[in-house]
Structures are given as C-alpha cells and as structure tokens.
Structure 1
C-alpha cells in the first residue's frame, strides 16, 4: 500500500479511537492495540518526512513558542451577569418574563414562546474559543477581553478531547468551551511532580497560557463545549439543536445539561447540583441558566456587558486562603503518624474551617510547606470531607519551620519513616493505635458490636486494661457495671452484643482484623475462596496473587500480617473464647442466564428493601461480579437513595443504571 494512503488510514482510525476514548468514554480497542497503530504511524511519518494536519502524533506538543499572537474573535464572547442568591435569580427571571411580554405585546402576529430554561455547569477553568474552517481546526484562543484573545492553537491541539477535524465543512464556525484539568488527573500528576500544582483551575490556565506546548501536553487537559458563537450560515432553533450539532461534530458536551419548562424546577436542580458538586471530578463554581429558544435570545439582546437571556448562579467557594497556625501529629490504627493543620478560622463552602489535612511528611515537602507556619496557604473543601491544604500562596520559604517528630507523640517510641509516611512501631503499647484497632474491630462492617464507640474503647483501655480486641471477650458484667456511665442496662447490652458478635461470618472477622492494604471486598473474596480461617492464615504470596484483585503488595501484606506471632496468638485467643469466624454454607450454583449474568455491577447509595450485603449475595448468585468502583469496564450501576459520585460517574461514562429499587428487586426475583 502507498505509504501516504496508509498514513491517511491510520490517522482516520486513530482519531476515531481517540474520539471514542476521550470524548465518548467508550474505548473500542485496548491500549496495546492503539499503541501498535500509533507506533506504525510514527514510523511512516519518520520515513516519509510527512505529517498530516490532523495526525494524533501532533498532540504531544511542539517547539517552544516565542509569544502569543492576538486573535480577534469573529463574534464577541460575552461575560455573564451573576446571581449570588435565589432572590437575585428570581429577579433575573422576572426581567426575562417582562421583556418577553413586552415583545409579544408589540409583535402579536409573531409572538415569542413561553420561556424554557437550560442549566449548564459553570466550569472553573479557562474559556476556549476554537475556529474551524471547512472542518479543520485553524485557530484556538483565550477569551481575552471578549473581542481579542491570545492565540493558543499549539497548546489546544494537545487536548485529546478537542477534535482537530470535524464532519461539518460548510464554512467557518467558532465554538466556545472550557479547558479544565480533571481532579483525578491533578492528583496523579502531583504524586510524581517535582513541583506540585496548587489547584486544578490554575493548572489548566497555566498549561494553556504556557509558551511550551509540551508542558500543556504533560498535564493531560480535558475540555467541554457548550456554544457555537459564530457560523457562516448554519442556524439553530434552540439550545438542544446546538448541542446536537456539537455532539454530531465530535465535541465533548457535558452530560449534566438539563432542560426545564418551569422556573421552580430550575431552583430544585440548582440545589441538587450544589449538593453533589463535591462528587464531580472537576471544579465548578456555579451553574449557568439560559433561555433555550434562540429567537427569544435574539429578541432579548444584550446590555453593554451581558446577554439578557443568560445568568450565572454562583455557588459558595470551595477554595480560599487562610493562615497556617500550627501542625499537630495524630497516630492511627496502623501506627501511621499523620499531620493535621490548625488554620486561622475561615468560612468555606458554608462551614467554618479550622483544621486541614496535610496527608504526610512527603506531602508537606512537595507542597513547599516545610517553612509555612504563619503564612497564607490555599485550602480546598470537597464533599463534606476535612479540607486539604493545596500549597503556599507565595513561593518563598518565609514562614516558621514545621518540625517533623522523631518520637511518637503518644507513646514516645522512636518513629520510622517509610516512603512519605512516619510510623510508630510500638503497636502493643501505643494507646491511640490500640484504641483505633479495637474501635475498628467493633465497627458495623466488622464484628458489628452494638452500643460500642471510640469513647467506650478509651474507657475500657484506661480502666479495665483492654489492650487488644481479644480482651473484649474476657469482660464480665461485674467489671463493667462499676464503670462511670455504665449502669446495669448498658453493661448487659454490651455483654449481649459481644456474645452475638461471635457468630459473625469469616469475611467480617477478616475485615475486623485490619489487615493492611485490604478492604471489605478483598476480605470477602478471601473468605469465599478459602472458606477456612487457617487456610487463609497459611496461604502463600504465590497462591494469593492468583486470586482476583490481589496484586503483589496486597499478597505480601496478607502473608506478613498472619506471620506475626502477636496476630496469631490474638486470633487463637478469640477462637478459644468462642469466636467462630466461619464461612456460611456454600452458595447454590450460580445462575448463568439471568439478567445479571456476566455483568460487572457496582452498588451505591442506600437500599431499603434489602441490605447492601444481601444485594451483593443475590447479585453474585445470579452470575454478577460486584465491584466497589465505577470504571469503563463496569456494565451496570445500581443506585439507591442518596447515591453520590459513583452514580455521577456512571452518567458521565454512559453506563446503564438502575435507580428504582422496585425494579432491582423484580430483576433479582427473575431466576434465570
């Protein structure tokens, strides 16, 4: 085959795979197969000295640029009026309705329709304006002042969700969108970066306005598109038609766009977006409400600054700055010593923040925080978790030093540094470790000892010398009833709960032990596979790595844990005191022709007609593989009440979902 013809074939095929992977989130081939095609194209380009304009090899970034070239937009990029609260939003809608009524009064023969509304997420990134002529991407620019921006074509070409060529060849169009850095990508980048990025917005803006396109490529940016700002001849009747055009022309459109006829429904959707924003894999700082009908938009027109037919509803900030006052060090169940930052109180996302996580000593050093006490730092709060310090506002080491401890802050034992973490190895006599292990042992997903709490664990440690979970089963009523805040009823309830916990199954017992690097899904898999505690304790690393979802690190963790004489003695003590730790009876044969057969299923949210454990067992009995995380390999997501980020990700990836529990129960009851 002629090399040029083969190159054209490869470019078309690779761009189609890029579109399926980066825009549709539905890869059609494996990474290995893609790499073979890509390498073949690279070889042909090197041999021929020719590179096609839309070749995917051009997305890695070219030579350093000398500067930015000004670009005059073909149509103005408008700012948006802002509403800070519901009252301001209703005022905007009142003005819209009045303008529509005024227009209809003056034009009774051709009235505007009743306003409909579209809600789009307001991305916190950098606005992109892309120019296509006869289907080819010929320019990309920043917003600038709305009339003239900076040309950043070389940088934008590195974003793999940006099409270099589109099917529409009817002339010139300008398409607007937002360049962003996904939070998961930011986290992975910072794990190995010599200079961690402080937040996703700055990371995206800095990459796109960087004169070295290779830097842009390294940050693996993403982009979503939401508007056709200019076209030679194409026209749309409404926003839906415009979005359909963008999708048909391979632009990535965010799936969270919603349409409403009633303004009260808009209010409800905004509340739902605000509640779930922390579960998104990208930053948003609000939502944009637009009138859907484009003739109405034209009639309403613009003020000097804003379109009258759109408004931005701003959410409370999730990022801000404050002063780092001090750092304290806490000891966890595994002996890991973790820094906790005390900051000057600041309002963030509706709460007053005083504490922030710092993760570990490596995190402190990577973020240039070693000399940050008393200085101003960036913090971020997401999804009701403790806020995280992202980095210093300034680059200078102008604060007091954060001193890393050399002895355990709880027991004084010398600390050991393993990787980025500090550890106290005094697991037999370090109070926080012991209390945390006992609390974990008694937790609901473990031995499920009712009425037990961390306060109870501390009290038993201090007053009854409870030093390990096995000691719980030696407690007597006469010992407990003498304790402060322990009456006869509470003592009897705890004794009964301890007795009942002895019947917990093998998977729950394994989870209660707190084996490093293992969670509930791994311990259940071990219990289902071996069905005997001592068989698991005697398993070799070579045997374990053959099991599903068990890699070398997990296998070594399991073997090392059970090789510890302290662990072995503690387990035998519990067995002698009546703990059964047995696997349930072997399940019936798996159904091979049910609705769930062969599917990888993820459960999320709260179910009311059956427990998560019961749902898992019934799904597995019907041939499903139940997984704990959503990925492109997931076939189905079952969402109960208050489902969060897993359901959002399923929608983003186009994964089928069951969001009606009655429907789930009906399908479970269909045997075969």
Structure 2
C-alpha cells in the first residue's frame, strides 16, 4: 500500500503542475494524450486503493481563476466527463448504466425507465463556454473555471458572431453550454498575415477568450457550437433530441455531427467511423461524447462526486514521437517528495512544442530501462492536457549515460529516504521548497482563499521576511511589506486585508489548508461536518475516525499523527492566537417524523425574496428533505416562488402539494 500511495502522490503533483500551466497560464507543457494517460493511471490507482489523496485532480472538476476577470458562480455545476479509451471501457460504462436502470425499474415497476438509447456528439477541443440568458437576453458568459465558479468573459464572447445576443425564449433563465473554437481555415488565414503566427487553434481560441482586450478576441474571428442546457428555472425536455431542437430553434449553432442510436453496438461502430474521419473537420476534436438520450433516465442515473453516470467521453489515441533525452533534474514538492523531470530535445506534437517530460519516480526510470538513457533516443507520448510521458528507450541497449539518483536533497542537502519508488527529504522544518509549498497551499483558493497571494509572494516572504510557517503570515505588518520590491501601498494594504479576511473561515477549508497527509477536500468536509469543532477533532482517536465515511486505517492514522505532532500543534496554536477562527456550519436540526419536511421529496422553483434557492435547499435538507430538480409523481411538495414556470404547472396537474406563500414556508422551516 505504501508504494501505491507514493506513486499516487508523484502522479498528483505532476498532473496539478500541468493543470496550472494549461488552465491558468494557457501555456500547456505537454500533449493531450499524455495527460489522459497520467489521469487514467491515477483514477485506476485510487479505485484500487480506495484512497483519494490531498490535491488529487480527480476531486475536482476543475482549476484556479485568473485575476483580472470577475468571478461568476454558475447556477448549475459544469461537470467533467469520465473517459473511455477503447471498446472495453465503453462496454463497462454501458454495463454499469444498464444495471442501474434495471435496479431502478425493479424498485419502480409502475413507472419504469425506457430501454437505453444514446446520442453521440463531437468533443470539441476549444474553451468551454457557459452563457446565461435572462428573459431572452444574453446577460453573462463565463468560462468553466472549477465547475462551480468561472470567469466572466461577456465582452469577449459578444465578439463571436455565432453567439446570439437575444433568443426567442423569454420565459425565464437558462444557462447554455458550448465550446468556443477557432476554425482551422480561419487559423490558416490568420497566420498568413500575423506578425506572430499562432501554433494551434485550441490555444488561439483560449487565449483570445481570456484576453482582457476584447479587440484581440474579435481579431481571431472565433466560432462557437452549443450542445447542452445546464440550468433552467422552468423548461423540461423529454430527451436530448428535444433539447437540441430547442437550441436550434433559439438560434444557437449546433454541432454538425449529432447521431442517435438504440444500441451500444451501433454506438461502437459509429465511434470507429468517426475516428477515421477526425481530420476532415474544419476544427479540432479530441474525441467523442456518448450520452444517454432520455432525460428521466439521466436523472435516475445521477452523478458520482466527479462525473455524470449517464455520459462518457471516448478519447482518441495518444500521439507519440521520438526525441533525445538530454538531462534529468530533481524537484522537491511540499510533501518532501523528490520528482525527476526530464528535459528532451524539443519536438513538435500536434502543434505543441514539447521540451519537458515526466519520469514519475526512480522506480519508473528503472522499470522503463531508462537508467542509462541520457543522450539516447526515447519514445514520448502526449495526450490531452498533461505533461508528456517518456514511454521508454527506442533501443534495448544501454548506450547512454547513467541517470544518477541523488542521495541528498537538491535544495537543502539533507539525506534522502527511499519510500517505495520515491525519494523523500525529511527536513520539513528547513527545506525551502517544502516550506514555500506549504505556505502556498495554505493560502490557495480551496484552502484559506487569501486573495492576491501567489507562489511568487510566498517565495518573496520566505526570502526577505523569514516566513517559514503559515502562522507567520498573520504577524506581518505594513512596514514589513512596503519595503519589499514590487510592493506599493495598495498592494501591501490589499494583502494585509486579505490576511484579515481569511481569519473568518469555515472549519473544512481550514483543515484542508493545514495539509493533513492523505486527506483532501472531501475528507476534511467529512471531518468538519462530524466533529464541528477543531478541539474535538484534535482529540479524536483512530478507532473513532475509521467509523466515518470513506476514512480507512491509513487516513485515520495520518490524521491522528498529524494532530499529535508537536510542530503542527504549535503552528495551529499560533494560528488561533493570531485570530484565525475556523467555525463549522450550523449543526442540522434534529430530524424527526413530526417535522413536516422529514422524508419528503421537494422541488424548488421560482425566486424567493428572503433567501436564495440554495439556502432554502440547505435548510430543507437539514430537516430531512430530499431536494430534486424535476417534478414527478414521486414529488411530495413543490415550493414555488415568484416567476415559477412549468414545474409549478406540472405540480398542479399532478395534484402535488404546493407551498407558494413564502411566509408559510418560513414558519414551517422555523418549526
């Protein structure tokens, strides 16, 4: 198990590094095919071990937001898709979906789901767009961001002529999802006169849409295709075909390739056909998407923590190339793990110049016969958005120079310890990259969310002000910061204000910020919800912890060891003394059968004046209710606010209890 955990940690750091390059900086360091291979490998290891480590990219559907754009919270989450890279994966997905449908029909014989049918669409390789229309008018456009919060790019999207500024549907609010792209023919024409030719259409579209100057966006002559309605406050569709027709009727540009099938065998045949014609389109695609067509079946299948169970992405095979391995450097992560990074002779793969490749760990180097490969030719593979991977040597001979494994930390010189296939520096109190990494993680968006903070800030504070622990941040003063290079009065005051604001935080975010080994956002949320007190959690035993959801022996031991560590205890004590106040959300109301909402299935529709629908949903769930998005015979209550649409109408037709008096709702919520 230890070897597997170390391999997972190495994989996670590599993936997250290249997610940052790709999504935040728009400077991908590796090919798409390589990313898929690394990501799939991590998914398989997590499934095998049953453990999701801190910072795992599988826990999130997304990445960091660029400063300079306003944040936009999506009304409905934008999901990532699980992947199938061959027919076996596709068959496994279908088998899981069919079993869930059969289970549902067994429980609901009076209203069974129809036989599975499918839609196949192109998977565009551009930038995901989420457009918000209110009463027929485009009021916001946003990037995908982390799936929950994106970047507002309305001015940029308005330059895309295929995006309608108004639509015929004016009855409510909808969010329409699609892909911003640059057609290949447009790219070719642009490069003929451009002072700096663009390398590929994907980066050209992403760079234009995330450029703060909309004139730059307009010059790229971008296009957009739309394929989904992620949110609506009144519309319902029977199936995917009906939804696509609605999009078409409302002047959205639809994919030129949408196919419907009644069997998974027909789907597989179609996938093979499209793979052979992928280069005939005037835009980039990196695969196809297979979805269950029936909307009621989609609702029944539901979602995992990361993906919808009713859809899967069929990804194209990775692209490979041959180049020369020039050197290997060793990088230190915040956990002390030492990761080898290979520099290769630059080679172009699918429009991206590859210079750096992952080697994972010393076990990977030996397994691939790369120990004597410096100066030799090697195979590299690039897939999707991740750093390319070296697959192995072109020849079997050991005809290159030896890759020498370090015995001392390349940063602090401390002796290294081999744990499984990984080398670790144990000097966690003085090793610069570890300390800077921990401080940067503590301040990150999913942790303490200290605005304006970056890894460059952490490095500067470490170097010039002696910041060695997250608690040191709260002791900094204006006089400390103003003397730093590139720190004016405004920047210094903004950072101090961000420190002060971060002191009021929720317990789950604080626990995640601490960087407890083997725990991620999901686990820290479980801990916060259960203990609702930092003191109680710090006193917890491993025997207590393993009784909680998704916490096994290894994670429990990591948590207990972390809070028993005198160094961590002192750091936490200093944070609390500085005024950091981690609090848990209000404990849920005790559920009982006398509560009018206990065990009821409830649908919220329309606008409430005293609270948002999300707030109302949380209060109802705390009282034991189940919140769903569509009205059916199984619905017990519909809460209807102002401008309630078709859901209210359907509830009236079915004779379902309706609460349309907000004062009545408040009285019931308050007991």
TM-score (norm 1): 0.48
Structure (1 or 2) with the larger CA radius of gyration: 1
Which structure ranks higher in relative contact order (CA pairs < 8 Å, sequence separation ≥ 6)?
2
